[in-house]
Amino acid sequence: MKLAVIYDSRTGNTRTAAEWIAEGMARVAGTEARTLSIDAVDAAFVGEAKGVVIGCPSYMASMTPEMRTFLMQGGRLGLAGKLGGAFATEQYTHGGGETVVQSLLTIELVFGMLCYSGGAALGKPVIHLGPVGVNANVEAHNGMEHYREYFLVYGERFAQKAAELFG
Amino acid sequence: MKLAVIYDSRTGNTRTAAEWIAEGMARVAGTEARTLSIDAVDAAFVGEAKGVVIGCPSYMASMTPEMRTFLMQGGRLGLAGKLGGAFATEQYTHGGGETVVQSLLTIELVFGMLCYSGGAALGKPVIHLGPVGVNANVEAHNGMEHYREYFLVYGERFAQKAAELFG
Amino acid sequence: MKLAVIYDSRTGNTRTAAEWIAEGMARVAGTEARTLSIDAVDAAFVGEAKGVVIGCPSYMASMTPEMRTFLMQGGRLGLAGKLGGAFATEQYTHGGGETVVQSLLTIELVFGMLCYSGGAALGKPVIHLGPVGVNANVEAHNGMEHYREYFLVYGERFAQKAAELFG
Amino acid sequence: MKLAVIYDSRTGNTRTAAEWIAEGMARVAGTEARTLSIDAVDAAFVGEAKGVVIGCPSYMASMTPEMRTFLMQGGRLGLAGKLGGAFATEQYTHGGGETVVQSLLTIELVFGMLCYSGGAALGKPVIHLGPVGVNANVEAHNGMEHYREYFLVYGERFAQKAAELFG
């Protein structure tokens, strides 16, 4: 089962988060997970993927213009019916990561995806809408590393659900 | 396959919308669709349902306090893993129906549901996040009746997806 | 007192809505209101404006990529401290106009603007977050014209508040 | 100049955050800032206040039912025209604090308030929509204390803007 993590990254933090999600996905047997930058998306792989997680940094509590432009491809991405997830990075805890995740999920719903986060039903750590990492040391005492486990767990739960539905 | 439409209604418009959704669901063979007011939810039926759609009127561009309180039951509703949808009614086109739908879907994601609207992938009418009806004649020349087809189509598409996934 | 309405328009509907808002603003004595396409923003005028309203059509229940890219200019637009408003057009009542308005206001808050819609406090018509017009005849029996009064009233209320605060 | 911080708190973390905001407000000369639990709001004080900040914990990435019910009083709270702000606490960085802040600001806009966060225009720390504190040690190495400075700075900036507009 193929799963894709599509991301827009500027400084590398969001790419790191994408890689952690893919690493978590790979814990589920039979999963082939790939991270794809919006600059170089493998359309064939995405087309075959049963689930796609999309993420980017928060700028002004919003998704990046590059991600917004990328998603304008709409139906041509062929995401309808796939399991959909979202994640973000931000520079402050109040920096808009959640509003970015919510806005990415909104577009995924318009694409006709099945949006899923795992939620509170799978116990701690509770993932609400999708994982968010604070990408600076301004707040977190050890930067992105502090959030690693959330991204791993999220990726694993997402892959389990995809396998259950489509495996 | 059981499907539930849970609603909070004050003047009857949201109940009408819920009934249209259930009528649309029933177009899919093998579907038993029921509308349930939050005042009298049949917990056993909801527990057996493969999909649940939740809706309420917009007050202050937000869900009603009664719906917010109802949803506080959280995990006890047993919604994790079910297909989830949302709808709303409002008094003006700009009256908050969409923000209510988005906020209902947000809670459904936290419950661990698979959120689905059909989206743009199924052609016209495009349903973005969920159907919204304007419940007054202030704007619409024929009130809620004007939106009937959207609710029917939404219910049918939702039931088709539920049957495809869990039927 | 200068007031600006900045818009992104594709088919002309959002430009029409912007013009109605400016027309409503001009009802307040001493107001010079101008509509500015994001393609040709008069930066000097915006800099002198006491209030700025921003609007665009909904695509995928989100602002257009062009508007998102335009707003990336951030602080260079010099909007901090000004009165801020937002509006949208959409193709269906559930088409994302409100989520677009909410996302525009989110960015305006990050810019340090004072966001204002008039709200319910000024009586009918209640404007919740900002006016939204349905830009097709799919639903509305007379298209955008159906929403004209909302945009006019919104523009007038916005200008009154700007005059009260900064006039 | 009177300023009010209205909060709903369960374990005390949100009350602590409210007190920090009021402490920051009091740094601005001539300010009388009070924290008011939704259980015991001094309506006369709120009526005289030039600005009101509202906050609560995130439950299911949403405001608490108690806060939603409290805000249903709508126009009777007399908040129209006042400066409005919002804050939240959450149990995880991705725990819904920002979506709560956004939903509180949405209701404040419907009330006819002037919503303001300070935003990015005032330099670091950038406050996007409003301050959010993570109320557990699950993530933050020193709990709420880690976020103290954000709440103080936010309160101070809010009071400065209120004094500038209405002082």
Total Cβ atoms within 10 A of residue D99: 26
Mean pLDDT of C135-141: 59
Structure confidence at residue D141 (pLDDT): 58
Could you report the per-residue pLDDT of C85-113, keeping only the tens digit for each?
A: 999 999 988 899 999 999 999 999 999 99
Q: Please say whether the beta carbons of B100 and C128 come within 8 A.
A: no
Q: Chain D contacts of B59, Cβ < 8 Å?
A: 72
Q: What residues have CB less than 8 Å from C81, skipping those under 6 apart?
A: C112, C113, C114, D121
Give the residue from A109, A111, A115, A154 with the most B CB atoms within 10 Å of its CB, the best one to mutate: A109
Residue B137 in this model has a pLDDT that exceeds 60: no
Q: Does D61 touch chain B (CB under 8 A)?
A: yes
Residue C140 in this model has a pLDDT that exceeds 80: no
Residue A109 in this model has a pLDDT that exceeds 70: yes
Distances (CA, A) of B152 to A41, B85, B157, C138: 37, 14, 9, 16
Q: Strands, E, within B96-139: which ranges?
A: 114-115, 132-134
**DSSP labels, D46-59:** HHH-SEEEEEEE-B
Rounded to 10 degrees, the C-alpha dihedral D135/D136/D137/D140 comes to -40
Q: Please say whether the beta carbons of B4 and B136 come within 8 A.
A: no
pLDDT band for position D21 (50/70/90)?
very high
Nearest Cα of chain A lies from the Cα of C68 at a distance, in angstroms, of 5
Nearest Cα of chain D lies from the Cα of C128 at a distance, in angstroms, of 5
Asked if A128's CB is within 8 angstroms of B105's CB, the reply is: no
Asked if C106's CB is within 8 angstroms of D119's CB, the reply is: no
DSSP state of C115: E
In chain D, what percentage of residues exceed pLDDT 90?
83
> What tokens were used for B47?
């527990």
Q: Chain A contacts of C96, Cβ < 8 Å?
A: 106, 110
pLDDT band for position D139 (50/70/90)?
low
Q: Does C75 touch chain B (CB under 8 A)?
A: no
The CA distance from B34 to B56, in Å, is: 16
> What tokens were used for B7?
């609603």
Give the residue from C53, C110, C132 with the most D CB atoms within 10 Å of its CB, the best one to mutate: C110
Residue D145 in this model has a pLDDT that exceeds 90: no
Mean pLDDT of B43-58: 97
Asked if C107's CB is within 8 angstroms of A61's CB, the reply is: yes
The closest alpha carbon to D134, from D95, D82, D81, belongs to D95
pLDDT band for position B74 (50/70/90)?
confident
Task: Point out the residue among B60, B125, B128 whose CB comes nearest to the CB of C61.
Answer: B128
Nearest Cα of chain A lies from the Cα of B109 at a distance, in angstroms, of 6
Structure confidence at residue A153 (pLDDT): 97
Q: Does C65 touch chain D (CB under 8 A)?
A: no
Nearest Cα of chain D lies from the Cα of B138 at a distance, in angstroms, of 19
Q: Chain A contacts of C74, Cβ < 8 Å?
A: 60
HEC sequence for C39-97: HHCCHHHHHHCCEEEEEEECECCECCHHHHHHHCCHHHHCCCCCEEEEEEEECCCCCCH
Query: Mean pLDDT, chain C, as a whole number?
Result: 94
Which three-class secondary structure state does DSSP give residue A7?
A: strand
Give the residue from C109, C111, C127 with the most D CB atoms within 10 Å of its CB, the best one to mutate: C109
Could you report the per-residue pLDDT of A62-100, keeping only the tens digit for each?
A: 999 999 999 999 888 999 999 999 999 999 888 999 999
